[in-house]
Amino acid sequence: MYKIKISDLPALFDKLSEKYDVFLPVDFDNGAKYKKYEKGDVLSEKLNTVKSPKDFFFPQTEDMMRFKTEGKKIDVIDIREPKDDFIVFGVTECDVKSFEVLDNVFLSEPADTYYAEKRAHGVLISRACSKPSETCFCKTYGIDPSEPSGDISTWKADGTLYLRPNTDKGEAVISVISGILTEADDDEVNKEKEKINKILDRLPLKNLTTEGFGAGKTAELFDRPEWAGLSQSCLGCGTCTFVCPTCQCYDIRDFKTNDGVIRYRCWDSCMYSEFTKMSAGQPRLTQKERFRQRFMHKLVYYPENNGGLYSCVGCGRCLQSCPISMNIVKVMKALGGKNE
C-alpha cells in the first residue's frame, strides 16, 4: 500500500503523463467526462461519468479498414496502428466489473482484435465510491464499491490518496511514480471501507435482488403479461443503451469516399426498430418485443451463457438518464421474486 497527499495529485498526474497517456474524469457543464490530462485539470468528485470508460476499448465509432478500388481490383487496407500504453484513472468498481462482461463477448474466440489490442495497452486505476448515490444498486450483483479492483485500487481518506497495485500492469505504473509516493498501512483505508458500507446499508435499493432471474428462466419470464405494461411508455430512444457500461451491440457500415471505401462500426441499440433488420424484415417488430429483449438479455440470456454473470453492474446511469424513468430496477421489481 502506498499514499500521496490529495494536494499533490497534479504532481502524480504530471509524472504519469511522462510515460502514459492519462485520462481523468473532469467536470463539464453537462456532467463528468473523461479527457486526456493537461496541466490544470482537476479530478472530478462526481460518482459517475456521463459515458462509461467502455468508450476507451469499444469506442462509439471506430474505423476498421479501408478498401481501395481500381476497376475490378479491390485492395483491403489494414488501417490499425500500434497502440501506446494509456491509463484510465478514477474508474468506479461497477465500471471495472463491466469489463468482465465485455471481455466475455469480445475476447472469446474468435477474439475481437480491435478490442483486445486496447485492453492489452490500457491500465485501469480504480477508486472506491466514497459517496454512493441513491441510484446505485451494484451490491445486487455482488459488487463491493468499497473494495475496488482493476490494475491499481485507490481510496481517498483524510486528505490522502491510498494506492494498492493488483497486477503486473499496476506494479509497472507504481514503479514510475514511486519517487513521489510513501509506503502506508491500511488502517485509514479500512476506516473508509466501513464508512462506505454504512452508506450502502441506507440506500433505497439495498434490498433489490436478482431472485427470479438468471439461467434457465426464459420459459418462466418470456410470456409474462407485465411486459406489455412495462414497455408501454418506452420511447425507444436508446439512451439507456448508450450510457450503459456493458451494452455491446454495434452496426458495421461502409462509407464511400473519393479515395475508396471506409468500413467502420458504431454503437447500436436493441431498442431501435432498425436493429438487426434484414431483407426479410425485423425479427422483433414491436416495442414490447424490443424492450423485453434488452432486459431478458441483461437478466437471463447473458447469465445463462456466461456462468451466471449478469450483464448489469448496477451503476445507476440508466436510472439517471431515462427520460420517462423506466429502467431495469422497475423491471426487476415487477417480475422478480422478493423485490420491494
- DSSP-assigned states of every residue in 256-294: EETTEEEEEEEE--TTSTTTT-BTTB-S--SHHHHHHHH
pLDDT score at 340: 55
Is 213 part of any domain? no
pLDDT score at 113: 95
Domain that holds residue 131: 2-200
What's the pLDDT band for 205 if we cut at 50, 70, 90? Answer: very high
- The answer to whether 84 touches 18, Cβ cutoff 8 Å, is no
- Both 144 and 245 in one domain: the answer is no
pLDDT score at 339: 59
Is 209 part of any domain? no
Task: Give the residue from 190, 98, 102 showing the smallest Cα distance to 143.
Answer: 98
- Both 270 and 304 in one domain: the answer is yes
Between 3-17, 33-47, 281-295, the lowest mean confidence (pLDDT) is in: 281-295
Is 210 part of any domain? no
- The answer to whether 252 touches 264, Cβ cutoff 8 Å, is yes
Query: What's the CA gap between 106 and 333, in Å, rounded?
Result: 31
Is 340 part of any domain? no
Last residue of a domain, one of 200, 229, 263: 200
For the chain, the domain total comes to: 2
Q: Is the pLDDT of residue 293 over 60?
A: yes
pLDDT score at 119: 97
Is 255 part of any domain? yes
Q: Is the pLDDT of residue 111 over 80?
A: yes
- Both 39 and 163 in one domain: the answer is yes
As a whole-number percent, the residues of the chain with pLDDT over 90 amount to 87
Is 212 part of any domain? no
Cβ-Cβ contacts under 8 Å for 296 (sequence gap 6 or more): 218, 221, 222
Query: Mean per-residue pLDDT for 181-206?
Result: 95
- Both 196 and 244 in one domain: the answer is no
- Both 279 and 181 in one domain: the answer is no
- Both 109 and 249 in one domain: the answer is no
pLDDT score at 90: 96
Between 33-42, 221-230, 250-259, the lowest mean confidence (pLDDT) is in: 250-259
- The answer to whether 305 touches 286, Cβ cutoff 8 Å, is no
Average model confidence (pLDDT) for the chain?
93
- Both 290 and 175 in one domain: the answer is no
Q: For the chain, give the number of residues.
A: 340
- Both 156 and 278 in one domain: the answer is no
pLDDT score at 282: 66
pLDDT score at 284: 78
Q: Is the pLDDT of residue 41 over 60?
A: yes
pLDDT score at 338: 62
pLDDT score at 281: 66
Query: Mean per-residue pLDDT for 269-296?
Result: 83
Query: Mean per-residue pLDDT for 153-162?
Result: 95
- Both 193 and 248 in one domain: the answer is no
Is 166 part of any domain? yes
- Both 77 and 152 in one domain: the answer is yes
Query: Mean per-residue pLDDT for 164-180?
Result: 97
Q: Is the pLDDT of residue 285 over 90?
A: no
- Both 147 and 250 in one domain: the answer is no
Last residue of a domain, one of 136, 168, 200: 200
Give bridge partners of residue 306 from the DSSP assignment.
none
3-class DSSP state of 215:
coil
- DSSP-assigned states of every residue in 304-327: HHTTT--S-----HHHHH-TT---
- Both 191 and 84 in one domain: the answer is yes
Query: Mean per-residue pLDDT for 111-116?
Result: 96
Last residue of a domain, one of 132, 166, 200: 200
What's the pLDDT band for 94 if we cut at 50, 70, 90? Answer: very high
